[in-house]
Amino acid sequence: MKDIIIFGTGKYLEHKKDLFQKYNVICIIDNKIKRGHAEEYKNTGIRILNPNDLNRDGEEQIFLASMHFVSMWEQLVNMGVDPQRLVYPYFIKPYFQSDSVVDILVSSIGFDREKITVSCKEGDIYFVKTCDEWNKVLRELYRKKFAIISSIAQMDSEPISGQFATERGTPVDRFYIEEFLNDNRSYIRGDVLEIEDNTYTKRYGGENVARSIVMDYDSKEPDIDFNIDLESGRGVRERIADCFICTQTLMYIFDLKAAAKNICRLLKPGGTALITCSGLSQNSKRCMENYGAYWAINEAVFQKMFADEADMKVVDTGAYGNVKTVTAHINGLCIEDLCREDFERKDICYPLIVYAVVRKNG
């Protein structure tokens, strides 16, 4: 294997552990080490030295293991190290941060004493002398790779729709809400409680529903069986539901533990609450004005929320969404603007919808 020296011991090197498999690392240099001292790198037997203790006349390549490789180049060149020894290992997988974009578009990064030369596969050449200049190159590369950067830069500051695209199609979050309810339709049976209307009760419960019960916060509509405040407990009816379909509601309740207590009161022994909430989403203007909007919820909330309810057990939680569907939803696109494949990726860092299945002891 080829002998190399690595400059840096941070996250970049931790991410690119394959360097130790592909090369013979004879030492590591790092500015955190005092001059004249040496430490061992993670029980590998490899010494970490201060850069000033490096053999400046050596021939081994020095891999600059940092996103801030420009300042490393400057430091080493000022020390008298031959710049031809320097390598920025953006091409080593797994990629770290911007390395994937660089590897796709850049054919080589060369070092001399005056500048760094970045040669692109399409023929463009950039000359870099400072970290700011490298960041400028990165921005240009990203614009070439990701059309969305220019699209967002040129977009209006107003969304396409402020009504979740209901004026021309189906809101994006409904895809996930309905997937969740369909996956858990076996719970939608017996006496089923739903908020505002019984659309989901009928769609997913069908003949398994003995009685459909509809509640609201403060409605005089004839189809509403009773009004309730899930936070204060006003209007709560004890043990009336085998299943409570509670979609897109908890974001507008401040005291979630109080809501958990009242959900427990509504359920019969052995009953189930099917809950969905917004993660990253546009707020409902109507709900904000009528109830207030308090939370963008992650799935970890549910265990905390029901922790004080001895009769309740959170049996399942999860999240749906990815950066594309979250972006589409926030900007007012509808399901019909996307294709089914857009919904397949689930990324916990971009939860559009989070859900929980919570059961009451029988």
CATH of 172-360, one of 3.30.930.10, 3.40.50.1820, 3.40.50.150, 3.10.110.10: 3.40.50.150
Give the DSSP H or E segment for 279: none
pLDDT at 134 (0 to 100): 97
Portions of the chain given CATH number 3.40.50.150? 172-360
Q: What is the mean pLDDT of residues 176-191?
A: 98
**Interval 219-238 mean pLDDT:** 95
| Mean per-residue pLDDT, 314-340 | 96
pLDDT band with cut points at 50, 70 and 90 for residue 289: confident
pLDDT tens, 150-166?
A: 998 998 999 888 888 99
Q: For the chain, what's the residue count?
A: 362
Neighbours of 349 (CB within 10 A): 11
pLDDT 10s digits, 92-116: 999 999 999 999 999 999 999 999 9
Instruction: Report whether pLDDT(279) > 90.
Output: yes
Q: What is the pLDDT of residue 126?
A: 98
pLDDT tens sequence across 249-263 = 999 999 999 999 999
**pLDDT computed for residue 293 by the predictor:** 83
Cα 215–chain centre separation: 34
Average pLDDT over every residue of 167-176: 96
Q: At what angle do helices 69-79 and 131-145 cross, to 10 degrees?
A: 140
pLDDT recorded at residue 253: 96
Q: What is the pTM of this model?
A: 0.82
